[in-house]
Every structure is written in structure tokens, then in C-alpha cells.
């Protein structure tokens, strides 16, 4: 093994970046995520690891410091693979091992990884690192840089960016600019130019209004949206709220709005005004509005997915393109949304476990794969041959103008979309251009189908790993008696469905329930919560039925 100064790395691991936290940290749904104060050694070690990953993949690897929807006190890191995907699962295990060993074992684990993965350590490596606006993020990024430098690797620190922007950087660095120019300017130009082109070519926009009230969760998305507005040049009228003056994700942001089904703090309550909330690192988005009776209406990831898939299907039909379109959801998707997609839209729909990494991979099986979690995390992926076919059709003068125009629009949609991962900003542009094309206001959009009443709650347990699920998380196999109990509860309610799973980003068990009658939903949620509390080692206040 050549080129690394292991005694120098060892010294850093044992002194400057020694473990300050003795508990286990796990690479969860979206990387490591826990209290920011426990993470310095994890970031240092992820700096070391990403250099090795870069040597294995012979490509640039990304490192994003964020705890996304979690509160300010937490932080975390997401590792981004060369194609903009989340870190490969087999390396999550390696990352967890490296993050948890004692300080004096760091070098031996590094050497083990190098041997097992057969890494040529003389190869040059490159890591790109970004961070969100949390007060802990700068120090943590410096810990990661310390690890990267100790491995003599090149790195680029792009500073404060959204998670999807970091993914964009990784892909554009690795794809030799085919995907985009690896600079923030390239990102904004790409999505805004394509957006403006589509808007300009649609004449009749019916009930559509280009005004959006946006809750930026007091996070990095506020900075990005302010920047985007310069490039949009008035093509979308975005009013930004929660732009950094308050606490990050506190009573605001996409997760809060989705879970609580209420408006966030500080957003003006004007009936029928289109509102959106994004989360702390701007990779999730939900829409909502208040009606004249002050009732709250949510349009979440399920509805965004349906809107997008329906629009793409229309464009494929108009352009006579025979490309396979499919949609991917998780168990959280509302039962009525799944029925609507398969029975009304006639689009194949697949279900995978929670985590965009799983949805992304499944979506790649289609020529055009739309994936969204109901929490608003998702995007569209187009495979290479679909992209080529679309471009060829758009430029084929022997075809009808309708055919060509639809293909042309599709080609712009490809550029609006950040295909690397769910991106609240590019998703918002996508939704807006579709609403504009259809001439819809938010109420018309909401009317396309009705959701089943549903609720999500969280329960604290002694050990969240006590819950083990199968069948894309729809069935709990451990603790043994829990699924039987859930089955008993759901049969009492018309169209009842429920599942439980341990969160990979918070120290809780998540519970989802849905049924036909709104009046039953709280009782059903309480019953399942109690079953989890009693059978899975609940702590804190016991749920009351
Ligand atoms: C992350 C993942 C999402 C997942 C969410 C919640 O989002 O990227 O795919 O839905 O966590 O995961 P869990 O239910 O396991 O806590 P984010 O926006 O927090 O990075």
C-alpha cells in the first residue's frame, strides 16, 4: 500500500478528531444523522472513506453535510455516488463500520477496506463537498476536509448549497458536462432556461396563476430560491417566507406541513393562494392551500407524481413515442393514489421501501420513471435511449408539428428536471409548468381524485431496531405479535390499512394509518400506536385510545 501517511491519519483520528460519542451511529435512510455534537469523528472518517470510494469508482464522489428535515440541533452526512445516486448499499455497511470503530482502529479498518476492495491507492481521487445552513455544518465540513486532505486527495468545497445542487455538481463533474456545467450558475441556467422555453410556448393558461407563496423552512432553499428568481426574470412570481429569520424546520418546512396538515408559521393565510413548503436541504416539496372555510388542503408527493406522470403520458401520446412510462411509490402512498394511477391513468406502478435510493433504482427500470415519496421527495429519470429518441423526434421535420412540438416540450422537461435526486426547486418548476400547460389553479389540481383520510405518527421505543419489516415495509415480522395486532385493528375499519417501520433519520418508530372515514382515523392511529408501545418497548407517555 503506497501513498497514504497512515501515522499522520492515525494521529488525527486519535487526537483532533477523536470520538466524542460512544453510542452507535448507523448509515440510515439518507446517511448518518444524529446530534451535531456527536459527528466530528464521523465526518473526518467519511472524508477518509470518500477518497477510497473515489479511487474505486475512478470518479468524483460527493459529500453533503445536512440533517435535512431534522431540527437545527441535528446534523448528518449524505454520501453521493458518481451518477448522483446515494451511496451503494454494500458501502453503507463499510461506512457504518468505519464510523463506529475505536480511534485506534481507524487505520486497520482503512487497510482492511483497501485490501478487500482491491483499491489502487496511487490513483488520484476527487471529492466535492457541500453543506447546509446549520450552525454546526461549517465545522463538520472542515472535519471532512481534514480527512480528505490527510488522504492527499483533491477536493472542491462548494460551500452552502442545497442537497440536490450537490448531486448536480457530482453528476456534471463526472459526465464531462453532458449533464450540465458544474457550477451553480450552470444549475440555475439549465433549469430556468428550459422552464421559460416551455412557458413561452404555451399560449392559453386558463385559471393558472404564477404566484407562489413559498415556505423555505429557514434553510438553504431560501438562498437558492432567491438566486433562482434572478434567472427566472419574473416568469414565476415567488414570494419567500421563513427565509432564515426563524429556526430551521421549526413549525415550518415540508415535513412539518405534511405530517401536521397545517400551514407553517409566518405564511400569509389567503384563501386559494397556492403555497409550497420545502425542507431544510431543499430536496422535498409539498403544495397546499386554505379554502374560504379556512380548511387546509394538502397536495403531497403522491399528487405531484400523478400530475407529472399524467402530463408525460399526454406528451408521449402526442409525440407518438412508444416509451415505457412507470411510477414508483412507497407504502406511505395513499391507497387511492395507487388505484388512480393504475386504473385511471393506466400507468404501471411499483412499490418499494422508504428511501429515495430505492425509488431511484426502481424508476431506472422504465424508459421514463417517475418516483415520489408522499413526503414530497422525488423526481423523474429518463434513460439514455429515451433521451435520444425524444431529441430525434423533436428534430424530425418529416413528422407533424404536433408530434414535434410535444417531443420538443419533452426535451425541455428533461432539462427542468434534476434527474440526480428529488429537488424541491426543479420539482416546483415542473409542477408550475404543468399547471400552466393545463390552465389549472391549485383547486382544479386537487379535484383530480380524493385521498383516503390518513395519518402518520411517531412513537419512541427503547430500541427502534426491534422493529423488523418485510414486503417493502408493509408487514412487520418482529416483534412477532405486532403484525397480528395491526391486522386485527385494520379489519375494524373500512378500507383500513396500516404499517409500522423504524425511521432511518430519527430515533422513532413511524406509524401510518388510512381508512375510509375521517372520523375513524385518530382512533385507528391511537390503536396502532398503543400496540407498538406495548409490543415494541415504547417509552414516554403511553398512547390513549
Ligand atoms: C430522507 C430520505 C427520504 C425519506 C426520509 C424519511 O429524507 O431521503 O427518502 O423518506 O428521509 O426517512 P425515515 O422515515 O426513514 O426517517 P430527508 O429529506 O430527511 O433527507
Q: Read off the CATH number of the domain in which 333 is found.
A: 3.40.120.10
Show the CA angle centred on residue 335, arms to residues 480 and 514, nearest 5°.
60
- What's residue 177's pLDDT? 67
Backbone angles phi, psi at 141, to 5 degrees: -70, -30
Regarding the beta carbon of 259 and ligand 1, being less than 6 Å apart is answered no
Ligand 1 centroid–CA 112 distance in Å is 31
Nine-digit cell at 528? 396502532
Residues 65-118 pLDDT 10s: 999 999 999 999 999 999 999 999 999 999 999 999 999 999 999 999 999 999
Question: Residue 3: its pLDDT value, please?
Answer: 73
Question: Based on the domain organization, do 39 and 126 belong to the same domain?
Answer: yes
Specify whether the CB–CB gap between 517 and 493 falls below 8 A.
yes
| 252 and 313 both lie in a single domain | no
Within-domain flag for 169: no
When pLDDT is cut at 50, 70 and 90, the band that residue 306 belongs to is very high
E strand or H helix at 369: strand 368-372
- CA-nearest residue for atom 9, ligand 1, is 355
Q: Tell me the three state secondary structure of residue 454.
A: strand
Cα–Cα distance between 435 and 430 in angstroms, integer? 9
Residue 251: helix, strand or coil by DSSP?
coil
* Residue 458 in domain: yes
Q: What is the pLDDT of residue 545?
A: 86
Q: Is 513 helix (H, G, I), strand (E, B) or coil?
A: strand
Q: Examine the domain organization and report whether 52 and 153 are in the same domain.
A: yes
**Do 272 and 310 fall within a single domain?**
no
Mean pLDDT along residues 431-444: 96
| Separation of CA 301 and ligand 1 centre (Å) | 13
267 and 339 in a single domain? The answer is no
* Residue 28 CA to ligand 1 centre (angstroms): 9
What distance in Å separates the CA atoms of residue 413 and residue 426, rounded to the nearest whole number?
10
Describe the crossing of helices 137-150 and 6-14 by its angle, rounded to 10 degrees.
Answer: 150
Residue 330 lies in a domain: yes
Place of cell 473526518: 44
Rounded CA separation 102/338 (Å)? 47
* Whether residue 432 is found in the same domain as residue 352: yes
Neighbours of 258 (CB within 10 A): 24
Strands 468-470 and 475-478: antiparallel
Taking CA atoms, 320 is separated from 315, 390, 409, in Å, by: 8, 10, 13
Q: What is the dihedral of CA 426, 432, 434, 439, to 10 degrees?
A: -170
First to last CA, the chain: 62
Quote the number of domains for the chain: 4
Neighbours of 313 (CB within 10 A): 16
Q: How far, in Å, from the CA of 155 to the mean position of ligand 1?
A: 27
pLDDT for the residue 2? 53
The grid coordinates listed for 384 are: 439514455
What Cα–Cα distance (Å) separates residue 157 from each residue in 435, 502, 509?
Answer: 37, 33, 35
Decide if 195 is inside a domain. yes
**Within-domain flag for 1:** no
Same-domain status, 327 and 393? yes
Burial grade of 71 (CB within 10 A; 0-12, 13-18, 19 or more): middle
38 is an active site residue: no
Q: What is the pLDDT of residue 310?
A: 97
The closest-lying atom of ligand 1 relative to the alpha carbon of residue 375 is 10
The last residue of one of the domains, among 446, 466, 486, is 446
Each residue's pLDDT tens digit, 266-278: 999 899 999 999 9
Work out the angle at residue 255's Cα, subtended by the Cα atoms of residues 495 and 488, and round it to the nearest 5 degrees: 25
Joined grid coordinates for residue 135: 450552525
Is the pLDDT reported for residue 518 higher than 60?
Answer: yes
Q: Which atom of ligand 1 is nearest to the CA of 506?
A: 16
Nine cell digits for residue 334:
395513499
Distance CA 396, CA 443 (A): 38
Strands 237-241 and 509-514, bridge-based pairing? unpaired
- The fraction of the chain above a pLDDT of 70, given in percent, is 99
pLDDT tens digits, one per residue of 189-213: 999 999 999 999 776 679 999 999 9
Q: 153 C-alpha to center of ligand 1: Å?
A: 30
Tell me what the pLDDT averaged over the chain comes to.
96
Residue 137 has pLDDT above 80, yes or no: yes
ipTM of the complex, rounded to two decimals:
0.96
Q: Is the CB of 137 under 6 A from ligand 1?
A: no
In this prediction, residue 234 has a pLDDT band, given cuts at 50, 70 and 90, of very high
CA–CA separation, 324 and 335 (whole Å): 23
pLDDT at 1 over 50: no
What's 342's DSSP letter?
I
How far apart, in whole angstroms, are the C-alpha atoms of residue 347 and residue 366? 11
Residue 525 grid cell = 392511529
Whose Cα sits closest to atom 14 in ligand 1?
A: 503
Do 357 and 269 sit in the same domain of this protein? no
Cα separation, 348 vs 370, whole angstroms:
11
**Between 424-438 and 163-174, two packed helices, what is the crossing angle to 10 degrees?**
90
353 CB near ligand 1 (under 6 Å): no
pLDDT at 175 over 90: no
What is the C-alpha radius of gyration for the chain, rounded to an integer number of angstroms?
Answer: 23
Give the residue, by CA position, lying nearest to ligand 1 atom 1.
30
Angle at 163 between CA 468 and CA 298, to 5 degrees: 70
Whose CA is closest to atom 17 on ligand 1?
68
Where on the phi/psi map is residue 58: left (φ > 0), alpha (ψ -120 to 50), or beta? left
Residues 119 and 140 in one domain: yes
Report pLDDT for 379.
98
* The three three-digit cell numbers of residue 542, written as one number: 403511553
Q: 240 lies in which domain range?
A: 188-298
- Phi/psi region, residue 88 (left: phi>0; alpha: psi -120 to 50; beta: rest), is beta
Query: 144 and 10 in one domain?
Result: yes
The answer to whether the CB of 209 is under 6 A from ligand 1 is no
Q: Is the beta carbon of 504 within 6 A of some atom in ligand 1?
A: yes
- What lies within 8 Å, CB to CB, of 181 at 6+ separation is 172, 189, 190
Same domain, 318 and 421: yes
Q: Are 426 and 393 within one domain?
A: yes
Domain end point (choices 416, 446, 476): 446
Amino acid at each position: 500500500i503506497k501513498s497514504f501517511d497512515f501515522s499522520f491519519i492515525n494521529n488525527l483520528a486519535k487526537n483532533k478528531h477523536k470520538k466524542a460519542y460512544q453510542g452507535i451511529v448507523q448509515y440510515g435512510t439518507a446517511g448518518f444523522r444524529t446530534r451535531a455534537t456527536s459527528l466530528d469523528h464521523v465526518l473526518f472518517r467519511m472524508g477518509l472513506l470518500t477518497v477510497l470510494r473515489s479511487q474505486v469508482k475512478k470518479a468524483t464522489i460527493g459529500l453533503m453535510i445536512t440533517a435535512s428535515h431534522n431540527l437545527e440541533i441535528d446534523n448528518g452526512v449524505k454520501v453521493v455516488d458518481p451518477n448522483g445516486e446515494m451511496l451503494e448499499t454494500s458501502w453503507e455497511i463499510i461506512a457504518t463500520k468505519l464510523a463506529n470503530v475505536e480511534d485506534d482502529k481507524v487505520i486497520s479498518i482503512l487497510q482492511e477496506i483497501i485490501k478487500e476492495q482491491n483499491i489502487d491507492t496511487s490513483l488520484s481521487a476527487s471529492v466535492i463537498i457541500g453543506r447546509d445552513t446549520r450552525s454546526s455544518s461549517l465545522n463538520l465540513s472542515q472535519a471532512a476536509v481534514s480527512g480528505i486532505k490527510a488522504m492527499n486527495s483533491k477536493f472542491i468545497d462548494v460551500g452552502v448549497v442545497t442537497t440536490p445542487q450537490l448531486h448536480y455538481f457530482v453528476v456534471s463533474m463526472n459526465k464531462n458536462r453532458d449533464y450540465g456545467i458544474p457550477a451553480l450558475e450552470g444549475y440555475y441556467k439549465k433549469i430556468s432556461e428550459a422552464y421559460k422555453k416551455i412557458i413561452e410556448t404555451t399560449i392559453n393558461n386558463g385559471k393558472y396563476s404564477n404566484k407562489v407563496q413559498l415556505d423555505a423552512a429557514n434553510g438553504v432553499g431560501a438562498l437558492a430560491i432567491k438566486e433562482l428568481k434572478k434567472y427566472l426574470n419574473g416568469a414565476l412570481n415567488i414570494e419567500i417566507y421563513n427565509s432564515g429569520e426563524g429556526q430551521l424546520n421549526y413549525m415550518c418546512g415540508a415535513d412539518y406541513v405534511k405530517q401536521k396538515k397545517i400551514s407553517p408559521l409566518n405564511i400569509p393565510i389567503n384563501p386559494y393562494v397556492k403555497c409550497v413548503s420545502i425542507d431544510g436541504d431543499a430536496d422535498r416539496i409539498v403544495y397546499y392551500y386554505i379554502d374560504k372555510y379556512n380548511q387546509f388542503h394538502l397536495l403531497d408527493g403522491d399528487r405531484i407524481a400523478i400530475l407529472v406522470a399524467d402530463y408525460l403520458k399526454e406528451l408521449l401520446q402526442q409525440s407518438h413515442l412508444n416509451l415505457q412510462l412507470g411510477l414508483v411509490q412507497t407504502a406511505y402512498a395513499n391507497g387511492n393514489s395507487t388505484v388512480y394511477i393504475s386504473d385511471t391513468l393506466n400507468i404501471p406502478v411499483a412499490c418499494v421501501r422508504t428511501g429515495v435510493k430505492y425509488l431511484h433504482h426502481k424508476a431506472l427500470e422504465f424508459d421514463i420513471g417517475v418516483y415520489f415519496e408522499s413526503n414530497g421527495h422525488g423526481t423523474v429519470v429518463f434513460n439514455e435511449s429515451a433521451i435520444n429518441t425524444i431529441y430525434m423526434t423533436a428534430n424530425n421535420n418529416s413528422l407533424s408539428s404536433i408530434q414535434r412540438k410535444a417531443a420538443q416540450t419533452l426535451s425541455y422537461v428533461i432539462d427542468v428536471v434534476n434527474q440526480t435526486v428529488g429537488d424541491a426547486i426543479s420539482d416546483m418548476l415542473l409542477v408550475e409548468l404543468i399547471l400552466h400547460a393545463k390552465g389549472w389553479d391549485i383547486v382544479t389540481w386537487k379535484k383530480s381524485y380524493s385521498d383516503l383520510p390518513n395519518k402518520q405518527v411517531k412513537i419512541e421505543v427503547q430500541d427502534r431496531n426491534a422493529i423488523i419489516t418485510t414486503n417493502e415495509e408493509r408487514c412487520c415480522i418482529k416483534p412477532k405479535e405486532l403484525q397480528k395486532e395491526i391486522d386485527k385493528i385494520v379489519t375494524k375499519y373500512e378500507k383500513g390499512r396500516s404499517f409500522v417501520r423504524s425511521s432511518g433519520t430519527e430515533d422513532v418508530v413511524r406509524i401510518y394509518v388510512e381508512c375510509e372515514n375521517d372520523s375513524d382515523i385518530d382512533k385507528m392511529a391511537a390503536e396502532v400506536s398503543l400496540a407498538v408501545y406495548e409490543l415494541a418497548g415504547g417509552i414516554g407517555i403511553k398512547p390513549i385510545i
